[in-house]
Amino acid sequence: MNDHRNEHQDGAAELLAAYDAQLRGVDPDPPAGIEHQQDGPVTRVVGQFRGFVAAPADLGVDGADLDALIARQRDFFAARGEAVEWKTRGHDRPAGLPGRLAAAGFVPEDPETVLIGRVEELAGEPVLPEGVVLRETSDPEDLRRIAALESEIWGFDMSWLGEELIARTAASSAAFQVLVAEADGRPVSAAWLALRPGSEFGGLWGGSTLEAWRGRGIYRALVAARATRARSLGYRYLQVDASDDSLPILRRLGMVPVTSTTPYVWTPPAA
């Protein structure tokens, strides 16, 4: 039993090391209108629905220097009148980063679990419930319908997502695949695969399903379909930031938890 546990721990450590080495930077081929700006160890992503800060696992700065780095990111987006997300992971260094972000006015959103799976173990023919059809789309009207679906599921306006999906598919249809599951011509679930060029990883995003259609295997089918696409293009791993709802499904599929992630978001004060 101890040997088995140690093998599992070694596997998770190996996967986390690959994640840190290959996924902690920014997409080398961003959509039109997206700009990357380096500031010391971090990279600002400008031009999305809100700003984003990408950081390595070890920032290499602490104390007053870290406070100044955080303040520069906040103040840059404040001058633009935009919110900004600094994405943290549970193993990031220095360990005091979350507290310093909070002191600078960043607010934590719900934590999620980072899981990684091997494409070979996840790929397969999607098994869908009767009456549900799965198809790939890059049609702008479909992508706006998916944004409306996400807004309905989560209970707040996500119309910005439609334009982001349109830009991503236009930038690279090979590296970005959107799938929609429909019943009677109506979207009931959607998900997308974002492959990272130059890495071994693809990212699983979306995967949201209308409540009435949950528990019928649609989420698992979307994972299998995206893994099959990633395998056909020579990718080795799939990574997902999982909510508590999807975590048990992904673990049953063989994906391995490697760390946690918590977005810290600064929002401009209301006028």
pLDDT digits (tens, 9 = 90+) for 230-270: 999 999 999 999 999 889 999 999 999 999 999 999 999 97
Alpha-carbon span 104 to 113, nearest angstrom: 25
| Lowest mean pLDDT segment, chosen from 87-96, 143-152, 220-229, 262-271 | 262-271
Question: Residue 28's pLDDT is what?
Answer: 80
Q: Are 245 and 92 in contact (CB under 8 A)?
A: no
Cα-based distances in Å from 175 to 30, 152, 178, 226:
11, 27, 10, 11
CATH pick for 117-260 out of 3.30.70.20, 3.40.630.30, 1.10.3720.10, 3.30.70.270: 3.40.630.30
In the chain, domain spans: 2-111+262-266, 117-260
Cis peptide before 140 (omega within 30 of 0): no
What mean pLDDT is reported for the chain?
93
Q: Which residues contact 119 (CB under 8 A, 6 or more apart)?
A: 202, 227, 230, 231, 235, 236, 237, 238
Q: How does residue 172 score in pLDDT terms, banded at 50, 70 and 90?
A: confident
Alpha-carbon span 79 to 195, nearest angstrom: 32
Q: Which amino acid is at 143?
A: L
pTM for the model stands at: 0.90
Question: Considering Cα of 60, then 65, then 71, then 76, what sign does the dihedral take?
Answer: negative
Question: Residue 9's pLDDT is what?
Answer: 52
End-to-end CA distance of the chain: 59
For the chain, what percent of residues have pLDDT higher than 90? 87
Query: What value does the mean pLDDT take over residues 17-37?
Result: 90
**Angle between the N-to-C axes of helices 160-171 and 140-154, in degrees from 0 to 180, rounded to the nearest 10:** 140
